[in-house]
Amino acid sequence: MRILFLGDIVGRSAREAVAASLPGLRQRLAVDLAIVNAENASHGFGLAPEMARALLAAGADVLTLGNHAWDRREITSFIAEEPRLIRPLNFPPTTPGAGSVTVTLADGRKALVVNAMGRLFLDPLDCPFRTTERLLAQHRLGGTVAAIVIDFHAEASSEKMAYAHSFDGQVSLVAGTHTHCPAADHQVLPGGTAFISDVGMCGDYDSVIGMAKGPASIRFWTRMPGERLAPAEGEPTLCGVFVETDDTTGLALRIAPLRQGGRLSQCMPLCSEHPLPAGGR
């Protein structure tokens, strides 16, 4: 299975770039499953329903969220009706929406997509390790589902690494989100799970993690709230990862970063018809 995962969309320019680019990326990489973290898509804070609909219409199979899940009040009723939009599964049990969804692909294969959130330096939610363990007990990689992808939305790279190692061999991909800075530690772990501690954001990198530089920087000088933060709206870089899995086991064969547009160095993965160079896994 070919999986494309794009990191946190920040603001209008990034949202529009993802919507415009996703159909072409799906075709170029022969993508079977496309997942996008959209928790900052609406002006940098939360996700409005009409923007979720636009991203799904552009080719996202699943949208994930994070600590800004509830910044837009109108998302509460929408998420209860749209199973392709998921929020962290370790929110309390009465929280609207779901923390996972099973997607049926065009060829009939099924993929489980999970959203979980870390607790180190973030809200003290239920334990993401134990809630994930309970969920995975209901699914078998390479059996009931052909792939399992987890968006682990967390601040600390240590927590992300510990989480990925905990479920190595049980899932296809653990993709870290939230910090908005692409990591260089993409790898296939010993048990066959692809991992990256943070895929980075889809946003303007001439910024402070996606926000306009001036108001964001002055807060560190003054320690005062100051002007309301707003997304930087220059040319965005789309950041993510491309993963190919074994059709029998569901485990990862390779993982490669994707960076397109904007200020960062460009990197476009190759699909299996054009294998990655040695060491590309």
Per residue in 48-81, pLDDT tens? 999 999 999 999 999 999 999 999 999 999 999 9
Tell me, what's the pLDDT at 147? 98
Per-residue pLDDT of the chain (281 residues; tens, 9 = 90+): 999 999 999 999 999 999 999 999 999 999 999 999 999 999 999 999 999 999 999 999 999 999 999 999 999 999 999 999 999 999 999 999 999 999 999 999 999 999 999 999 999 999 999 999 999 999 999 999 999 999 999 999 999 999 999 999 999 999 999 999 999 999 999 999 999 999 999 999 999 999 999 999 999 999 888 888 999 999 999 999 999 999 999 999 999 999 999 999 999 998 765 444 433 43
The residue whose two tokens read 């959209």 is 38
List the chain domain ranges. Answer: 2-260
- CB-side exposure of 273: number of CA atoms within 13 Å? 4
Residues 154, 94: Cα–Cα separation, whole Å: 22
Q: Tell me, what's the pLDDT at 272?
A: 65
Q: Exposure string (b/e) for 140-162, b if CB count within 10 Å is 16 or more? A: ebbeebbbbbbbbbbbbeebbbe
What is the predicted pLDDT for the residue at 279?
38
- Beta strands per DSSP E along the chain: 2-6, 33-37, 62-64, 85-86, 100-104, 110-117, 147-153, 173-177, 187-188, 194-196, 238-245, 252-260
Superfamily classification of domain 2-260: Metallo-dependent phosphatases (3.60.21.10)
Nearest to 229 by CA among 244, 247, 238, 217: 217
Catalogue the active-site residues. Answer: 68
So what's the pLDDT on residue 156? 98
**pLDDT tens, residue by residue, 245-280:** 999 999 999 999 999 999 999 999 987 654 444 334
Angle between helix 157-166 and helix 128-136 axes, rounded to 10 deg: 30
For residues 277 and 262, what is the distance between their CA atoms, to the nearest angstrom?
A: 25
Q: Whole-model pTM?
A: 0.94
Which structure tokens are listed for 159?
């927590």
CB 112 within 8 A of CB 139: yes
- 3-class state of residue 160 by DSSP: helix
pLDDT for 274 equals 47
**Residues 60 and 36 sit within 8 Å (Cβ to Cβ):** yes
The predicted pLDDT at position 278 comes to: 36
Instruction: Please tell me what DSSP assigns to residue 48.
Output: -
The β-bridge partners of 104 are: 110
Please give the angle made by the CA atoms of 51, 56 and 61, to the nearest 5 degrees. 140
| Non-local CB neighbours of 53 within 8 Å, separated by 6+ positions | none
What's residue 273's pLDDT? 54
172: DSSP letter: S
